[in-house]
């Protein structure tokens, strides 16, 4: 039987290579494909030349006034020329290297041509001939293995073949109430846009579907919380105290307070579902370590899930240090480990030999079973979905859950996105930290940056130099980083050795370089943003961020938090030539404040103002269509509707909510089998 959970392989022309290319875009099922929405539309509606500005892409509709001519030029280059009469203006149209166009064009016929307008020469460089129906052309996020047109073709095939399976997820009553589209009409309007109004309604529908299913997920967690009992973790307070006393530093008051909140939760038989907020460097990890240790003293296991391998490794290393003198066995469970080793590890997790499992979402895979998981910790909570949190909970009888985030979230938003959780806040930095001094310079002032770096090196201090990672083109990013690396190597020579760290290196290589940098074998470390959540290097005092305007504010703040962890004065230099006012303001905020809370508020406020970057790090979950800040109203509406549905007795037996329930179940299923 056909189902939207079918693999894209069922579509014509999708072999192993395409499966791989699609997977890189996050598409593996038919459902993924039909909800892979265009991120913008090209306007193909015909316009008059006098209303079009120079170099704009535009469609002209008119009558072919001259027989097309084909001319060859250069080596193997072909040009097709003809005149198009639009009203009473005659425009020259030129197609390069598409000789077949000639056969599609006949004198005296009316046609529509899409191309780029040169206002001075009154000529159009043709891109394609379009049929009159299409006014809006969808543009998809693509990668180098798969073309726009292919994605559109596959989406079309999927929608046509699965029409019957594309059933409403949003209950009928809400579709009526908010004048939304039915699901089939919605995906059709998004992938084959016909008119503006319909596309807008479709977008509104897609957004509501996403918000509603998200809020349903939260409500389900919440309602399970009410019926299920948690486990009382009977930790040995004396051992926990001793552990805290042997730490190499005194806890801050804020750390003590949140530790007490968490310990009280662990002890009580009600279930813990707590969010721990604290700025970068505020010391969340040690609080997590205390909570884990307490769990172990009760004879139970603990786990910590991080969004990336490098962060998981970092946590594993830190915890090993905290538990150095104790008999605690920690395992690192990530995606790429060998089957034999993984099997052994899984056996030891199951029989309880391993006390703490640190890893990526590899932890929530189906075959990972704990002996008795008492506590599950999630780092960088917003990078995970609510379903993943739910799956982590299912790894034990009723483990307590502690989610950590470095990004303070404004209250209104916190209620709608983490409404089901209690919150603890570390609002104090460890004593003796000097605020980081931040400067913003233009690219043209690079020499000053080099001079400052030289000064820090001469004082024996080290520097991070970060180049941006722009997902669209990994190869380009790497090239930029390599060029900068070479430039610095030449500039500093043997006196101050420089290293490079990038995403294409394997884990062992990265570890080695980080370890060497930490030991002082290198003075400077050039890297793509992979070190964003990297290792502590107390001797590093300088963070230089190239093209800083390409990062989100929250991310800049995270990066800056990599320095200033030792006793020396630390600096952050932002190198950027922002193109607009908002960009300039963003740089200025970084210069003006070190307060993560202020920064994240500013970040959120500036969203939807052409700020395309940094969504990931802004502390709220990501959505495909809606923006939880800009579309907060819709998110709140969805929250109320979800709560209403879940509050009805036996709602999950109600045929009105059948598809919604199935949709949520599928989503959980998919997360379970994620590699
Ligand atoms: P976060 O995870 O909140 O970014 P970490 O837990 O990584 O912060 O702590 C940052 C650094 O500060 C670590 O090197 C940690 O050992 C240290 N640290 C944590 N708490 C204290 C404290 N109370 N006093 C001094 N140093 C601390
Ligand atoms: Mg941390």
CA distances from 86 to 63, 77, 107, 293, 547 (A): 7, 28, 14, 77, 44
Ligand nearest to the CA of 562: 1
Helix (H) or strand (E) holding 314: helix 309-322
Mutating to test ligand 1, I would choose from 248, 283, 321, 566 the residue with most ligand atoms within 8 A of its C-beta, which is 283
- For domain 237-426, the CATH architecture is 3-Layer(aba) Sandwich (3.40)
Ligand 2 center to 310 CA (angstroms): 12
**Domain 45-130, CATH among 2.40.50.140, 3.40.190.10, 1.20.58.100, 1.20.80.30:** 2.40.50.140
Distance CA 46, CA 68 (A): 21
Domain ranges of the chain: 45-130, 237-426, 437-593
Q: Is the CB of 557 under 6 A from ligand 1?
A: no
The secondary structure of residue 46, as a DSSP letter, is B
Mutating to test ligand 1, I would choose from 403, 430, 558, 566 the residue with most ligand atoms within 8 A of its C-beta, which is 430
Distance CA 265, CA 115 (A): 64
Q: Is the CB of 283 under 6 A from ligand 1?
A: yes
Q: What is the 3-state secondary structure (H, E, C) of 136-151?
A: EEEECCCECCECHHHH
In this structure, what is the dihedral angle of CA atoms 410, 415, 419, 422, given to the nearest 10 degrees?
Answer: 50
- State whether residue 426 is helix, strand or coil: strand
- State whether residue 592 is helix, strand or coil: helix
Q: Is the CB of 280 under 6 A from ligand 1?
A: yes
Q: Is the CB of 566 under 6 A from ligand 1?
A: no
Output the pLDDT for position 414. Answer: 73
Structure token digits, residue 598: 């202020």
Dihedral sign from CA coordinates of 102, 107, 111, 112: positive
Angle between helix axes 581-592 and 553-560 (nearest 10 degrees) is 30
Ligand 1 center to 286 CA (angstroms): 7
Q: Which residues neighbour 351 within 8 Å (Cβ) at sequence distance 6 or greater?
A: 371
Output the pLDDT for position 43. Answer: 80
Ligand 2 center to 428 CA (angstroms): 15
Distance CA 379, CA 195 (A): 44
Ligand 2 center to 314 CA (angstroms): 9
- What's the residue count for the chain? 675
Same fold across 45-130 and 437-593: no
Output the pLDDT for position 633. Answer: 86
Structure token digits, residue 108: 């005296």
Burial 410-444 (b: 16+ CB within 10 A, else e): beebbebbbebbebbbbbebbeeeeebebbbbeee
Q: Is the CB of 244 under 6 A from ligand 1?
A: no
Kindly list the averaged pLDDT for each block of 10 residues, start to end, along the chain of length 675.
Answer: 92 92 91 90 85 88 92 83 92 89 89 91 89 74 82 93 95 96 95 86 95 89 70 93 94 96 91 86 93 97 89 88 93 91 96 96 92 93 76 87 81 70 85 89 95 97 86 63 92 95 79 86 88 70 92 84 86 93 91 85 64 44 77 89 92 93 80 50
Distance CA 317, CA 591 (A): 32
* CA of residue 401 relative to chain centroid, distance: 22
CA distances from 158 to 38, 152, 170, 667 (A): 15, 10, 20, 19
Rounded to a whole number, what is the distance in angstroms from the first to the last CA of the chain?
A: 25
- For domain 437-593, the CATH architecture is 3-Layer(aba) Sandwich (3.40)
Distance CA 370, CA 130 (A): 59
Ligand 2 center to 161 CA (angstroms): 47
Q: Is the CB of 598 under 6 A from ligand 1?
A: no
CA-nearest residue for atom 10, ligand 1, is 281
Taking the CA of residue 286 as reference, the ligand 1 atom at the shortest distance is: 6
How do residues 410-426 score in pLDDT, each as one tens digit? 666 777 777 777 888 89
Ligand nearest to the CA of 566: 1
Ligand 2 center to 361 CA (angstroms): 17
Q: Is the CB of 518 under 6 A from ligand 1?
A: no
Output the pLDDT for position 500. Answer: 93
Ligand 2 center to 357 CA (angstroms): 17
Checking phi first, is residue 386 left (phi over 0); if not, alpha (psi -120 to 50) or beta?
Answer: alpha
Q: Is the CB of 285 under 6 A from ligand 1?
A: yes
Ligand nearest to the CA of 250: 1
Q: Is the CB of 255 under 6 A from ligand 1?
A: yes
CA distances from 430 to 114, 427, 565 (A): 61, 10, 10
Distance CA 534, CA 505 (A): 14
DSSP for 345-411, please give it.
HHHHHHTT---EEEESGGGGSTT---SSEEEEEESSGGGS-HHHHHHHHTTSSS-EEEEEESS---H
Q: Is the CB of 562 under 6 A from ligand 1?
A: no
Output the pLDDT for position 602. Answer: 79
Ligand nearest to the CA of 251: 1
Q: Is 77 exposed, middle or buried (0-12, 13-18, 19+ CB in 10 A)?
A: exposed
Q: Is the CB of 408 under 6 A from ligand 1?
A: no
Distance CA 80, CA 75 (A): 15
Taking the CA of residue 285 as reference, the ligand 1 atom at the shortest distance is: 6
Ligand nearest to the CA of 281: 1
Output the pLDDT for position 294. Answer: 97
Structure token digits, residue 104: 């599609």
CB–CB of 107/64 below 8 Å? yes
Distance CA 530, CA 547 (A): 16
Ligand nearest to the CA of 288: 1
CA-nearest residue for atom 23, ligand 1, is 251
What is the widest separation between alpha-carbon atoms in the chain? 94
Q: Which residues neighbour 334 within 8 Å (Cβ) at sequence distance 6 or greater?
A: 309, 312, 313, 359, 360, 362, 507
Taking the CA of residue 255 as reference, the ligand 1 atom at the shortest distance is: 23
Q: Is the CB of 596 under 6 A from ligand 1?
A: no
Ligand nearest to the CA of 279: 1
How do residues 379-398 score in pLDDT, each as one tens digit? 977 777 777 888 888 888 88
Distance CA 619, CA 607 (A): 13
Ligand 2 center to 280 CA (angstroms): 6
Dihedral sign from CA coordinates of 55, 609, 611, 622: negative
């Amino acid at each position: 039987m056909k189902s939207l959970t079918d693999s894209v392989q069922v579509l014509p022309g999708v072999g192993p290579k395409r499966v791989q290319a699609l997977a890189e875009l996050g598409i593996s099922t038919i459902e993924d494909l039909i909800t892979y929405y265009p991120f913008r539309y090209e306007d193909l509606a015909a316009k008059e030349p006098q209303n079009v500005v120079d170099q704009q892409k535009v469609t002209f509709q008119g009558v072919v006034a001259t027989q097309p001519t084909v001319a060859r030029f250069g080596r193997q280059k072909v040009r097709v020329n003809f005149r198009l009469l639009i009203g009473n203006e005659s425009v020259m149209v030129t197609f390069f290297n598409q000789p077949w166009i000639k056969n599609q064009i006949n004198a005296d016929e009316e046609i529509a041509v899409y191309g780029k307008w040169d206002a001075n020469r009154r000529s159009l460089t043709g891109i394609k001939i379009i049929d009159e129906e299409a006014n809006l052309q969808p543009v998809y996020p693509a990668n180098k293995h798969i073309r726009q047109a292919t994605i559109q073709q596959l989406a079309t095939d999927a929608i046509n073949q699965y029409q019957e399976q594309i059933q409403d997820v949003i209950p009928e009553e809400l579709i009526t109430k908010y004048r939304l589209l039915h699901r089939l009409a919605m995906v059709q309007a998004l992938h084959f846009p016909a008119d503006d109004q319909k596309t807008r309604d479709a977008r509104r529908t897609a957004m509501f579907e996403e918000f509603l299913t998200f809020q349903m997920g939260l409500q389900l967690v919440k309602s399970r919380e009410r019926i299920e009992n948690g486990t009382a973790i009977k930790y040995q307070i004396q051992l926990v105290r001793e552990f805290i006393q042997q730490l190499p530093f005194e806890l801050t008051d804020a750390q003590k307070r949140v530790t007490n909140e968490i310990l009280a939760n662990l002890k009580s038989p009600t279930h813990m579902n707590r969010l721990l907020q604290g700025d970068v460097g505020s010391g969340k990890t040690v609080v997590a370590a205390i909570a884990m240790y307490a769990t172990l003293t009760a004879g139970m296991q603990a786990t910590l899930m991080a969004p990336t391998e490098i962060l998981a490794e970092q946590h594993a290393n830190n915890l090993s240090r905290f538990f150095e003198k104790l008999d605690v066995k920690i395992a690192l469970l990530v995606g790429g480990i060998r089957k034999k080793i993984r099997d052994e590890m899984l056996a030891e997790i199951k029989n309880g030999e391993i006390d703490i499992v640190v890893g990526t979402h590899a932890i929530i895979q189906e075959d990972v079973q704990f002996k008795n998981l008492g506590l599950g910790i999630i780092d960088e909570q917003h990078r995970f979905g609510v379903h993943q949190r739910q799956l982590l909970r299912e790894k034990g009888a009723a483990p307590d859950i502690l989610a950590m985030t470095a990004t303070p979230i404004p209250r209104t938003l916190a209620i709608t996105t983490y409404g089901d959780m209690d919150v603890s806040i570390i609002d104090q930095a460890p004593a003796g930290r000097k605020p980081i001094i931040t400067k913003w310079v233009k690219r043209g002032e690079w020499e000053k940056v080099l001079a400052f770096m030289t000064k820090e090196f001469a004082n024996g201090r080290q520097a991070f130099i970060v180049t941006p990672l722009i997902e669209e083109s990994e190869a380009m990013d790497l090239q930029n980083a390599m060029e900068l690396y070479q430039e610095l190597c030449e500039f500093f020579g043997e006196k101050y050795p420089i290293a490079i760290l990038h995403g294409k290196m394997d884990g062992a290589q990265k570890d080695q370089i980080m370890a060497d940098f930490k030991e002082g074998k290198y003075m400077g470390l050039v890297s793509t943003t992979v070190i964003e959540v990297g290792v502590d290097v107390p001797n590093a005092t300088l963070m230089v961020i190239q093209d800083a305007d390409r990062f989100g504010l929250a991310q800049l703040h995270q990066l800056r938090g990599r320095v200033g962890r030792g006793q020396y004065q630390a600096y952050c230099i932002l190198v950027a030539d922002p193109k607009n006012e908002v960009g300039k303001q963003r740089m200025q905020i970084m210069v003006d404040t070190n307060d993560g809370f202020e920064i994240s508020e500013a970040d959120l406020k500036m969203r939807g103002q052409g700020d395309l970057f940094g969504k990931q790090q802004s502390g709220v979950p990501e959505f495909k269509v809606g923006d939880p800040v800009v579309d907060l109203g819709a998110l709140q509406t969805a929250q109320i509707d979800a709560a209403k549905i879940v509050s009805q007795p036996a709602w999950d037996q109600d045929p009105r909510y059948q598809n919604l329930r199935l949709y949520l179940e599928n989503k959980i299923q998919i997360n379970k089998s994620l590699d």
